[in-house]
Chain A
């Protein structure tokens, strides 16, 4: 049973470009969470999704950021018109049934904005 898969592992973008980060949860997991870790800072919650639904996006900036978890395929975190401040490690985690279960983390995507 493969773990949570994130790709790409590293992503380099120039200011103004779009970044698309993908997360495939563990098989059978229908809950996905995205977290961001800025350099020298702790993890921050961004968004919590279930299949086809956004449950809580209170940690996600209102502009330029969006997330989806379609019925088929991976969850996508999209950042439009990236700025240098978006440079961070973005982690995805999944859980089987509900938020109160053990989380399984992906290896993260390191986004660097030039």
Chain B
């Protein structure tokens, strides 16, 4: 069963700062998900990636399959980016099963 470690657990930064959130997993995978959970509880899928890098607006996600590591970056951070960011990978790596989630990174961006 895959295990996921995220860091940092909590992060407070000033508006405009560059943010990096890290995710490591134990079993080789076919794809990794980054999710965002807002204070109201809703969950949004930000990225699903299996190699390289993806960019969407101010968000960038990278993955290194060999090192079993992914990072989520936020450029020019804004208070509306405040949320919990969650990394998730397939339970057994690539089979037809559900996801194992990291504990999440609680991000607060102060104006």
Contact = CB atoms under 8 A, between A and B. Distances in A.
B103 interface: yes
Contacts of B98: 33, 35, 45-48, 56, 58-59, 99
B67 interface: no
Interface in A76-114: 89, 91, 93, 98-105, 107-108, 110
Most buried by A among B41, B50, B94, B103: B41
A60 to B, nearest CB: 10
A51 B99 CA distance: 19
Contact of A99 (B43, B86, B97, B104): B97
Size range of the interface on B? 20 to 34
A48 B42 contact: no
B53 to A, nearest CB: 16
Interface residues of A, number: 28
B100 interface: yes
A12 interface: no
A46 B90 CA distance: 13
A102 B48 contact: yes
A108 B41 contact: yes
Contacts of A44: 101
A45 B86 CA distance: 14
Interface string A36-48: 0000011111111
Nearest to A41: B103
B7 interface: no
Interface of B: 30-31, 33, 35, 41-45, 48, 50, 86, 88, 90-91, 94, 96-104
10 contacts: A43-B86, A55-B97, A58-B97, A59-B98, A100-B90, A101-B48, A102-B45, A103-B33, A105-B45, A108-B43
